[in-house]
């Protein structure tokens, strides 16, 4: 049986040399045509013949390979912990929009609940990326990474000394949430956190707990827990804890992400707990579903897409050799009150 007749046979890779032979020109001419650099250098006749050969053979320019030969690629690496959180989809969309077609975005991600390892990212650096974005890092990771070249940090409070950064003022929204619950009459609350252990979760938790304490809301140690950013995991954890929390007088549960809060709402319905009459529930992120859930979820709005867009803009400026007018940018957060807290 001929190779072309075999199922799943891989067609040979079309090279610039094959295009050159078909068009009757040099490989240098093929390169000029394929990369749009023909003005004043290639005749219209040769341009036409090369384009026809490219079309007939299905030639695709190896952009990554040619850029590597020059010492740097058009790849941008985005390092993110646990993209099981839907919030990251908005961040990624913002980054992609700001980078445009000139760069290819490569994601370096971990399993749920795990933080990226510097060693793994360093292996990707062999691709000679044009730039690096790191979302929600911690100091230990950045110390070990020691990345050279353009670098921008996202949602990395307290780590501005390492590189240019775009942060979220999550503490402001956390304090607003504590004030809202206090004004609603709550005096005892529980907190469900993420196991990821990144700085942004520390900031939102600590800011909420500090403001809650100042406003007369008690959050005892036995009323706190951590799970992966997963609806099912949060639901199971809440189901185990709720009987004791209820006996101790808990009337509000604050979650480190909306995803955790969805799990609490789900399990509360199963247990027949009335929301918000018996239990108020709130989260962080303000994901799209939070406005349409039943009841709507009170959440601290974090501008994910603007975060990604601004970080991409900052990185692109650095990659193009420009000096940043504002190396450290902070985007506002705000509380969106809905039916889950009454």
**CA separation for the pair 151, 104 (Å, rounded):** 16
Structure token digits, residue 111: 């399993």
Helix (H) or strand (E) segment spanning residue 85: none
pLDDT per residue, tens digit, the chain (342 aa), is 444 444 444 456 788 888 899 999 998 888 888 767 788 888 999 988 988 988 788 776 655 455 545 555 789 999 987 666 788 889 999 999 999 888 999 988 776 656 677 788 888 887 888 999 998 888 888 888 877 789 999 998 888 899 999 999 999 999 999 999 999 999 999 999 998 878 889 999 999 999 999 999 999 999 999 999 999 999 999 999 999 999 999 999 999 999 999 999 999 999 999 999 999 999 999 999 999 998 999 999 999 999 999 999 999 999 988 999 999 999 999 999 999 998
Strand partners, 76: 105, 131
Instruction: For CA atoms 226, 232, 235, 241, give the dihedral sign.
Output: negative
pTM, two decimals, is 0.75
Q: Report the residue count for the chain.
A: 342
């Amino acid at each position: 049986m001929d190779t072309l007749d075999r199922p799943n046979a891989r067609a040979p890779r079309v090279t610039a040399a094959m295009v050159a032979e078909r068009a009757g020109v040099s490989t240098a001419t093929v390169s000029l045509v394929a990369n749009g650099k023909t003005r004043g250098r290639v005749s219209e006749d040769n341009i036409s013949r090369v384009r026809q050969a490219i079309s007939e053979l299905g030639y695709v320019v190896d952009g990554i390979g040619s850029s590597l030969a020059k010492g740097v690629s058009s790849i941008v690496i985005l390092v993110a912990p646990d993209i099981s959180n839907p919030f990251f989809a908005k961040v990624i969309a913002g980054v992609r929009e700001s980078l445009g077609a000139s760069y290819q975005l490569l994601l370096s991600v971990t399993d749920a609940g795990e933080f990226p390892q510097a060693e793994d990212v360093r292996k990707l650096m062999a691709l000679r990326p044009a730039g690096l974005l790191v979302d929600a890092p911690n100091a230990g990771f950045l110390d070990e990474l020691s990345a050279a070249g353009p670098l921008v940090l996202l949602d990395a409070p307290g780590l501005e000394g390492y590189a240019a950064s775009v942060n979220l003022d999550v503490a402001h929204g956390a304090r607003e949430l504590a004030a809202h619950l206090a004004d609603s009459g709550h005096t005892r609350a529980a907190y469900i956190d993420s196991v990821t252990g990144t700085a942004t979760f520390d900031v939102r938790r600590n800011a909420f707990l500090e403001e809650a304490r100042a406003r007369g809301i008690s959050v005892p140690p036995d009323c706190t827990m951590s799970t992966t950013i997963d609806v099912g995991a949060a639901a199971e954890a809440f189901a185990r804890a709720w009987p004791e929390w209820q006996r101790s007088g808990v009337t509000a549960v604050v979650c480190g992400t909306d995803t955790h809060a969805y799990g609490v709402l789900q399990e509360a319905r199963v247990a027949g707990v009335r929301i918000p009459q018996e239990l108020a529930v709130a989260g962080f992120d303000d994901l799209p579903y939070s406005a349409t859930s039943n009841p709507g979820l009170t959440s601290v709005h974090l501008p994910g897409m603007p975060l990604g867009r601004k970080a991409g803009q900052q990185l692109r400026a650095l990659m193009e050799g420009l000096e940043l007018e504002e190396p450290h940018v902070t985007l506002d957060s705000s509380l969106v009150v809905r039916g889950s807290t009454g």
